[in-house]
Amino acid sequence: MLPKDLMMDYLSVAIYLLAGMAFAIVPVIISAFIVKRSAGPMREATYESGMQTIGSAWIQFTVVYYIYALMFLAFDVDVLYLIPVALAYGKYAIRDLVEVVLFVGILSLAIVYAWRKGVFEWKSREE
């Protein structure tokens, strides 16, 4: 049998997980009931600023575009990890500074790798 404190910890985590799943699932269920479904020729049309599309709306992007977007997303999220560290500087300021420098250094290696692979080189369709 688990101690009462440990059971309360597990119960707290379970409630937190259930609440998180409810916040993700309930809006989808509510929207399924509220949204009016329509059928017709315009249902599959691409909406682009209310203007009619000329030609096919389906174009292919190069993989470089997606890699560039993923690089931006990765560094954007990593800034979120740097803010708490910067706010928590205190008793171990030198150690924290070394950890941040190592963290940013490893991220910089990712940029250098992408740069060497030519991710940041935009090629036009004519080439």
Secondary structure class of 51 (helix, strand, coil): strand
Mean local confidence (pLDDT), 12-36: 93
Q: How many CB atoms lie within 10 A of CB 120?
A: 13
Residue 29: is its pLDDT beyond 90?
A: yes
**Rounded mean pLDDT of 65-91?**
77
Residue 70 pLDDT level (bands cut at 50, 70, 90): confident
Domain ranges in the chain are 1-37, 56-127
- CA dist., res. 22 & res. 15, Å (int): 10
With 70 as the cut, is the pLDDT of residue 105 above it? yes
**pTM of the shown model:** 0.41
Looking at every residue in the chain, the average pLDDT score rounds to: 79
User: What is the rounded distance in angstroms from the CA atom of residue 106 to the CA atom of residue 6?
Assistant: 38
- Mean pLDDT for the stretch of residues 2-13: 85
